[in-house]
Amino acid sequence: MKITRITMRHLSMKLRSPFETSFGRSEARDCLLLEAIADDLVGYGECVADRDPGYSYETVQTAWHILGDFIIPAILNQEILSPQDLQSKMDFVRGHLMAKAGLEMAVWDLIGKREGRPLRELLGGHRIKVDVGVSVGIQDSPSALVRVVEGYLAQGYRRVKIKIKPGKDVLETQTIRQVFPDLRLQVDANSAYRLETASVLSPLDKLNLLLIEQPLAEDDLWDHSQLQKNFTTPICLDESILSVRHARQALEMKSCKVINIKAGRVGGLSEAVAIHNLCHSQQVPVWCGGMLETGVGRASNLALASLPGFSLPGDISATERYYFEDITHQRFSLNSDSTITVPQEPGLGVTIDLQALERVTQSKKGFR
């Protein structure tokens, strides 16, 4: 296929409630939406870089620059044979994996629409619904946290992740465990500790957690391997895994026992599937992480999480957990068994509410 036109938009969507992690607090979620036209088909892709460089060095503005000034000019009107072919055409750009992943998603959507097949099927997924959980931001007090978790349990979520940071970690997690003894519970530190300071987390090892996510630095595999030796609870890596090579090295070094896969973080769905395949072949559990996506990115996450190796619930929640209004006509809701149904329509399986899209568009740029 040849992509003849692309529109790139900077979106800002107000969150229903502020989301706080160890790297900061946000009231709104920014991202880029790519609209790619090939023949008479329109494909969409979400680039999950945020406004601030807190989770990753990439931001909406770096992605805007890399896509607009380098990647889009290089691929426009070129024959693109497959997502892999697109990746080889983007190879001249070092890093900037979220920018690349956003465009790759639009190409997957176009391929699915051209072939009349849902993304789930293109990726090799079989599940028609996937187990999900909710990621709960840092709250003002342990009792506030209990109330928020209670609210999500009342909505039907059966797995909860709580964000932690130094000073808001052990007491918070112990409190939740005490109030909800059987809850499937995990924590995420987003790189807030160092090997020397992570010993404060040792009481967590007695709380029957599913996993402890990304306690140490984003560029560190070695110290995670040292930390994992002191914990029975599996360490799960998020920020540290940017490629299938990192995943292989992390497993060889025993830096983790579980991997969180986000297509945006690893440069796209192709690399995400490769990491899944590696882990699946070694019986290493993986799960689908989230980046507070719009309906576009959520559809992509659901398709990815339908692959057989995704054996733990994903950070994929219902639309209403994030936004009052979304940019897709489809709103995702939680089934009574704490699952969300995977879209079945061709490509991502979502259609865009153009009026809603205009309301959240901060700026846009067209290429042809």
Residue 191 interacting with ligand OSB (CB under 6 A): no
Q: How far is the CB of 320 from ligand OSB (least distance, A)?
A: 12
Strand segments (E) across the chain: 3-21, 24-38, 41-47, 129-131, 134-136, 159-163, 184-188, 212-213, 235-237, 258-261, 286-288, 339-341, 361-367
Residue 172 interacting with Mg ion (CB under 5 A): no
Q: How far is CA 65 from the centre of its chain?
A: 22
* Residue selected from 55, 108, 193, 323 as contacting ligand OSB according to rule CB under 6 A: 55
Q: Closest residue to Mg ion, Cβ-based?
A: 238
Q: Which of 100, 168, 257, 262 is catalytic?
A: 262
Q: Which stretch binds Mg ion (CB under 5 A): 69-77, 221-229, 236-244, 356-364?
A: 236-244
User: 10 Å Cβ neighbour count for 333?
Assistant: 12
Residue 323 interacting with ligand OSB (CB under 6 A): no
User: 10 Å Cβ neighbour count for 16?
Assistant: 11
Q: What are phi and psi of 96, to 5 degrees?
A: 55, 50
Helix 170-179 with 142-155: angle, nearest 10 deg: 40
**DSSP assigned state of 328:** B
Cα(first)–Cα(last) distance of the chain, in Å?
15
Residue 315 interacting with Mg ion (CB under 5 A): no
**DSSP assigned state of 89:** H
Say if strands 361-367 and 3-21 run parallel, antiparallel, or are unpaired.
antiparallel
Residue 186 interacting with ligand OSB (CB under 6 A): no
| C-alpha span between 160 and 176 (Å, rounded) | 10
Instruction: Break the chain down into helix, strand, coil percent, rounded to 5.
Output: 35, 25, 40
* Residue selected from 58, 131, 172, 188 as contacting Mg ion according to rule CB under 5 A: 188
Catalytic: 100?
Answer: no
* Residue selected from 59, 135, 173, 233 as contacting ligand OSB according to rule CB under 6 A: 135
* Residue selected from 289, 343, 346, 349 as contacting ligand OSB according to rule CB under 6 A: 289
* Residue selected from 58, 104, 172, 188 as contacting ligand OSB according to rule CB under 6 A: 188
Residue 292 interacting with ligand OSB (CB under 6 A): yes
Residue 238 interacting with Mg ion (CB under 5 A): yes
Residue 274 interacting with ligand OSB (CB under 6 A): no
**Which CB, 31 or 244, lies closer to ligand OSB?**
31
Residue 220 interacting with Mg ion (CB under 5 A): no
Catalytic: 262?
Answer: yes
**DSSP assigned state of 199:** G
Residue 50 interacting with Mg ion (CB under 5 A): no
* Residue selected from 198, 315, 328, 356 as contacting ligand OSB according to rule CB under 6 A: 315
**Which CB, 55 or 323, lies closer to ligand OSB?**
55
Provide the binding-site residues for ligand OSB, judged by CB under 6 A: 55, 135, 188, 190, 238, 289-292, 315, 317
Catalytic residues: 163, 262
